[in-house]
Structure 1
Amino acid sequence: MVLDRFGARSRVAALAAAAVLVLTPVAAGCSDDDGGDSGTTQTPTQTQPTNQPANPVAAKAEITKNWTAFFDPKTPVAEKVRVLENGEQMQPVLVAFANDPNAAKSSAAVRAISFTAVDKADVTYDLLIGGQPAIPNAKGTSVEQDGVWKVSVQTLCALVKQSGNAAVPGC
């Protein structure tokens, strides 16, 4: 058997992550006014970068919460569907992985979030197996869909591919 570039442990981690990705909950965002008073009566100008959501702090909190829940083996499949991009279409994949024994050992820790658009973010995370990093500094994406920041299908499919399951519907 030839090991992929990540090694056997990473393959197991990717399989476990793909299984865990099927079980995520939803978080609610909140808004915040970020106005300041400069002591003048100037017309307000846009200080918000165009590649960030209106409230990046709340968005990052929601992304972190949803990613953590998505990779948590205790999160029910129905909740994972709600925090996965196109979750209803991907539900069969999530159900298939729900009974995987490796999924019961997997989790994720979000390390960094960088917005690339008002509705898209790059996410750096550690994929953990039994609390130990199996794939440190993994890269994924989050998308805002229907008012919820979700794990992207692209991220799920990349993990499925790393696990050796190339023929997964929807990927």
Structure 2
Amino acid sequence: MVLGRLGGRPRLVALAAAALLALAPAVAGCSDDTTSGDEVSETSPYGMTTEPSGEDEPADPAAAEAEITKNWTAFFDPKVPAGEKVGLLENGETMRPVLAAFAGDRNAAMTSAKVTDVEFTSATGADVTYDLLVGGAPALPDSQGTTILQDGTWKVSVKTLCGLVELSGVTVPGC
């Protein structure tokens, strides 16, 4: 039960859910109908990376962890413009309308994240533990997400973003 995990902070849960619900309508309108069946996408499928894998961690894990923490903090920072967040989200160009809508939401302006742990699953992927904060207070502590190395940058995965949207109780095409 979520409320039990949050130590009786239903107001924070409600604010976090409201922030996520504000994101859902924009995501619902974001589907991949810009290509016909004859065209080939130049981006990797969700959850896949264009970087070769073969190691259990990147060549410089400390530098990768620092970049992941920096990028996740920026991605969830309400002060960072949506245009910058595109580069921090897996397949960000596809998700640009979602980010633009989210940036203007009043509830989203109170939501941020703090990375608490990174565990590499490969040279190009990692599991991320983070606290979702509302007004600086943990609303969803110890949340789990994933990050991938795409185009030379560690990015928040679409899987993570879709998971947050699903927490709001909304089903979104493409997630």
TM tier relative to shorter chain? 0.7 to 0.9
Structure 1 residues 139 and 155, CA gap change in structure 2 (3 angstroms): same
Structure 1 residues 14 and 55, CA gap change in structure 2 (3 angstroms): farther
**For 2:131, which of 121, 126, 135 is the aligned residue?**
126
Structure 1 residues 77 and 130, CA gap change in structure 2 (3 angstroms): same
Structure 1 runs, 4 residues or longer, greater than 2 Å off: 5-12, 14-20
Structure 1 residues 17 and 131, CA gap change in structure 2 (3 angstroms): farther
Per-residue Cα deviation, 1:119-156 (whole angstroms, up to 9, x for no partner): 00000000000000000000000000000000000000
- Of all paired residues, the percent bearing the same amino acid is 59
**Mapped pair 1:16 → 2:19:** yes
Q: In structure 1, how many angstroms separate the alpha carbons of the residues matched to 2:71 and 2:126?
A: 13
Q: Residues 5-154 of structure 1: matches in 2 within 5 Å?
A: 5-7=1-3, 9-10=12-13, 12-16=15-19, 50-154=55-159
- Segments of structure 1 that go 5 or more residues without pairing to the other structure are 21-48
Q: In structure 2, how many angstroms separate the alpha carbons of the residues matched to 1:73 and 1:58?
A: 25
**3-state DSSP class of the match of 2:133?**
strand
Q: Which residue of 1 aligns with 2:41?
A: none
Per-residue Cα deviation, 1:58-108 (whole angstroms, up to 9, x for no partner): 000000000000000000011100000000001111122122111110111
TM-score, normalization by structure 1: 0.74
8 Å CA contact retained: 2:85, 2:92: yes
8 Å CA contact retained: 1:11, 1:163: no
Q: What displacement does 1:166 show?
A: 1.8
TM-score, normalization by structure 2: 0.73
**3-state DSSP class of the match of 1:155?**
helix
Q: Which residue of 1 aligns with 2:164?
A: 159
> Which residue identity does 2:105 align to in structure 1?
D
Q: How many residues align?
A: 139
**For 1:170, which of 167, 171, 174 is the aligned residue?**
174
